[in-house]
C-alpha cells in the first residue's frame, strides 16, 4: 500500500504523463526543505515560522493524498492558541515520517 495517492495530481494532469512527472519532481525538490525548516522552527519554539512552512506545504500534502491535515492543523493552531509543545512535536513527527516515506516511494515509482 502506497503512502501517497496521485488521484488529484492525475486529474490535474489530464493524462499528461510529462506534466505528472514534473509535479512529482517539484514535490520531491520543494517539500523536504520546507519540512526541514518546519521541524527546525518547531525545535526552536518558533510557532510563527512553523505555521508558515506547515501552511505552505498544505496544498501539496493534500494534492498527494497524504492525509496530514489534522497534524498540519495542530501546527497552525500552535501559533494562534499555544497548543502544547508535545502535541506539536508529535504532529511534526507524523508529518515528517509520512512525507519522507512518500518522497522515497515517489523517487522509486517515478525513477527520479
- 61 within some domain: yes
- 64 within some domain: yes
**Distances in whole angstroms, Cα of residue 71 to Cα of each of 9, 21, 46, 53:** 22, 27, 17, 13
DSSP single-letter state for residue 5: -
Q: Please give the chain's pLDDT, 112 residues, in tens.
A: 789 999 999 999 999 999 999 999 999 999 999 999 999 999 999 999 999 999 999 999 999 999 999 999 999 999 888 778 899 999 999 999 999 999 999 999 999 9
Give alpha helix (H) positions in 14-68: 17-43, 47-63
- 1 within some domain: no
Give the domain range for residue 22. Answer: 7-109
Secondary structure of residue 58 in the 3-state scheme: helix
- 22 within some domain: yes
- 29 within some domain: yes
Cell of 85: 509543545
| pTM, rounded to two decimals | 0.93
Instruction: Report the domain count for the chain.
Output: 1
Amino acid at each position: 500500500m502506497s503512502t501517497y495517492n496521485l488521484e488529484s495530481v492525475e486529474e490535474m494532469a489530464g493524462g499528461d504523463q510529462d506534466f505528472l512527472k514534473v509535479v512529482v519532481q517539484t514535490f520531491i525538490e520543494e517539500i523536504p526543505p520546507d519540512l526541514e525548516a518546519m521541524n527546525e522552527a518547531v525545535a526552536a519554539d518558533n510557532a510563527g515560522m512553523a505555521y508558515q512552512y506547515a501552511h505552505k506545504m498544505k496544498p501539496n500534502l493534500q494534492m498527494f493524498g497524504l492525509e496530514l491535515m489534522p497534524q498540519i492543523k495542530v501546527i497552525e493552531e500552535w501559533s494562534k492558541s499555544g497548543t502544547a509543545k508535545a502535541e506539536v512535536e508529535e504532529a511534526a513527527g507524523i508529518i515528517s515520517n509520512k512525507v519522507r516515506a512518500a518522497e522515497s516511494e515517489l523517487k522509486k515509482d517515478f525513477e527520479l
